[in-house]
């Protein structure tokens, strides 16, 4: 710069000084003009005459105007998959993006400068006004299209308060028509499922209950035949009568079990505080003889108090412990019961040292009448685990087994700690 030159050396002549002085004046004038321009730019930004983004940095201000970064921002708003609009404080739409206009099935120019209120369904007007009043928030509301068709959207509103200018809002809407349709279908399907389940339960109850009477009759007359004519007819007759009596008694067991299965729903009691240790003690006392006969050792960790149907919890423990004893290996049965608290639920476990279960059947065994062992070696109908599953699920938990053939099995079931709340819906 010439000013530096002036300081750095002796002026050669008066003429040279004059020239230098003129040059300095020109330079000052040009700096004044640039300063004036900068001041004008700042005023325009401050008063909103110009869209700009000002970033304050230690090295100085960085200004992005419409000509630079703002273009990218506008392109983003225009191409985003949500509808967005800005509103003046009286609800006049100042701007809307392409998607907003498409959702309302109108051209943007027909929307801008009209009132947002014409697009809000009357039943949602109070909600919408409340959203504006709180200047922030989101809700599901119905919008009205040009043809008067109602369209569900998820709307979020935020205040665009710029210092010195009147209040305005930014509105973002997401079309949730598909979501609502799916929700409705799901609700219908769930209702249908609940109805069909209730019918099935009713059917199982009525049929098993009503079948009991004629079956009792068949069974008692067959036993009478057996008592009167055993050994008096030929060998074949004895064999036939034996098969008939055996078949009738197995059928009676199946029907009783089916009835018990359907009673999980029909005879459920209100969940109440239940001490699991007393439940287990009750089970051990019910099974006292069976435990002694099989030389079974049963141990347990401290068990919690939970909210549950006391009788049904007894059924779960009883079924699992009987299985643990029944399906024993060469060794005397050893069973251990424990409970662990994990993320909002209790995980109970009943571990045995029995025959174990091939993992490929670990889900099948919870189905009604599914058995992996034959009735000659291990008596039973195959209903116990399905009853456990039904009870656990009614309490809001789930049940599974971890096992390997020959290595014993551990049955786990969860019950929510706040099981009262979860189960009320099901009881």
Q: Which of residues 382-401 bind ligand ADP (CB under 6 A)?
A: 382-386
Shortest Å, Cβ 319 to ligand ADP: 6
Q: What is the dihedral of CA 145, 151, 154, 156, to 10 degrees?
A: 20
Which secondary structure element, helix H or strand E, spans residue 171, and what is its range? Answer: strand 168-175
Q: How far apart, in whole angstroms, are the C-alpha atoms of residue 415 and residue 23?
A: 91
The single residue among 274, 318, 353, 355 that binds ligand ADP, judged by CB under 6 A, is 355
What x-and-dash track marks residues 262-291 binding ligand ADP by CB under 6 A?
A: ------------------------------
Residues 6 or more apart whose CB falls under 8 angstroms from that of 417 comprise 306, 341, 344, 345, 346
Judged by beta carbon, residue 271 or residue 384, the one nearer Mg ion is 384
Instruction: Work out the end-to-end distance of the chain between its first and last CA atoms, rounded to an integer number of angstroms.
Output: 91
For 337: left if phi > 0, alpha if psi spans -120 to 50, otherwise beta; the answer is beta
Q: Strand, coil or helix: what is 198?
A: helix
Interacting partner of 354 out of Mg ion, ligand ADP, none (Cβ under 5 to 8 A depending on kind): ligand ADP
What x-and-dash track marks residues 315-354 binding ligand ADP by CB under 6 A?
A: ----x---xx--x------------------------x-x
Shortest Å, Cβ 348 to ligand ADP: 14
297 and 333 Cβ atoms separated by less than 8 Å: yes
What x-and-dash track marks residues 382-411 binding Mg ion by CB under 5 A?
A: --x---------------------------
Q: How far apart, in whole angstroms, are the C-alpha atoms of residue 240 and residue 234?
A: 10
Shortest Å, Cβ 353 to ligand ADP: 10
Interacting partner of 271 out of Mg ion, ligand ADP, none (Cβ under 5 to 8 A depending on kind): none
The single residue among 97, 274, 323, 409 that binds Mg ion, judged by CB under 5 A, is 323
Other CB atoms within a 10 A radius of the CB of residue 397 amount to 23
The single residue among 124, 274, 409, 419 that binds ligand ADP, judged by CB under 6 A, is 409
Q: Are strands 93-96 and 83-88 parallel, antiparallel or unpaired?
A: antiparallel
Size of the site for ligand ADP (CB under 6 A): 21
The single residue among 77, 141, 357, 422 that binds ligand ADP, judged by CB under 6 A, is 357
DSSP string, 356-381: ---GGGTTGGGSTT--SS-TTTS---
Nearest to 264 by CA among 415, 422, 414, 392: 392
Shortest Å, Cβ 207 to Mg ion: 22
Q: Strand, coil or helix: what is 80?
A: coil
The single residue among 337, 365, 415, 422 that binds ligand ADP, judged by CB under 6 A, is 365
Residues that bind ligand ADP (CB under 6 A): 319, 323-324, 327, 352, 354-355, 357, 365, 370-373, 380-386, 409
């Amino acid at each position: 710069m010439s000013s530096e030159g002036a300081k750095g050396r002796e002026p050669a002549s008066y003429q040279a000084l004059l020239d230098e002085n003129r040059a300095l004046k020109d330079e000052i004038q040009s700096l004044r003009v640039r300063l004036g321009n900068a001041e004008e730019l700042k005023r325009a930004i401050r008063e909103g005459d110009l869209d700009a983004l000002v970033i304050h940095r230690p090295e100085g201000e960085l200004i992005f105007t419409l000509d630079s970064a703002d273009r990218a921002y506008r392109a983003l708003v225009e191409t985003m998959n949500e509808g967005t609009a800005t509103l003046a404080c009286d609800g006049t739409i100042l701007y809307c993006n392409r998607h907003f206009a498409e959702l309302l099935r109108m051209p943007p120019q027909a929307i801008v400068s009209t009132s947002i209120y014409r697009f809000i369904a009357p039943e949602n007007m109070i909600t919408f006004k409340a959203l504006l009043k709180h200047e922030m928030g989101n809700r599901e509301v119905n919008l009205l299209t040009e043809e008067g068709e109602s369209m569900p959207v998820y709307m979020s509103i935020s205040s665009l308060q710029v210092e010195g200018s009147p209040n305005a809002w930014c509105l973002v809407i997401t079309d949730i028509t598909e979501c609502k349709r799916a929700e409705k279908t799901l609700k219908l399907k769930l209702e249908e499922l609940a109805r069909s389940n209730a019918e099935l339960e009713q059917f199982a109850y009525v049929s098993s209950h009503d079948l009991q009477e004629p079956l009792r009759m068949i069974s008692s007359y067959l036993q009478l035949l057996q008592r009167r004519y055993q050994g008096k007819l030929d060998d074949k007759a004895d064999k036939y009568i034996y098969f008939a009596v055996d078949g009738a008694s197995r059928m009676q067991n199946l029907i009783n079990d089916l009835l018990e299965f359907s009673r999980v729903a029909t005879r459920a009691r209100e969940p109440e505080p239940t001490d699991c240790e007393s439940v287990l003690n009750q089970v051990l006392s019910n099974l006292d003889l069976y435990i002694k006969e099989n030389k079974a050792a049963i141990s347990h960790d401290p068990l919690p108090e939970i909210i549950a149907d006391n009788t049904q919890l007894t059924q779960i423990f009883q079924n699992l412990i009987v299985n643990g004893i029944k399906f024993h290996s060469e060794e005397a049965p050893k069973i251990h019961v424990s409970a662990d608290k994990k993320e909002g639920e209790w995980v109970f476990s009943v571990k045995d040292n029995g025959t174990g279960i091939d993992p490929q059947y670990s889900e099948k065994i919870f189905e009604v009448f599914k058995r992996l062992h034959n009735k000659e070696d291990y008596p039973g109908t195959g209903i116990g685990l399905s009853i456990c599953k039904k009870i656990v699920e009614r309490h809001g938990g789930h049940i599974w087994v971890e096992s390997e053939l020959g290595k014993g099995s551990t049955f786990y079931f969860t019950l929510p700690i706040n099981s009262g709340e979860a189960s009320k819906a099901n009881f």
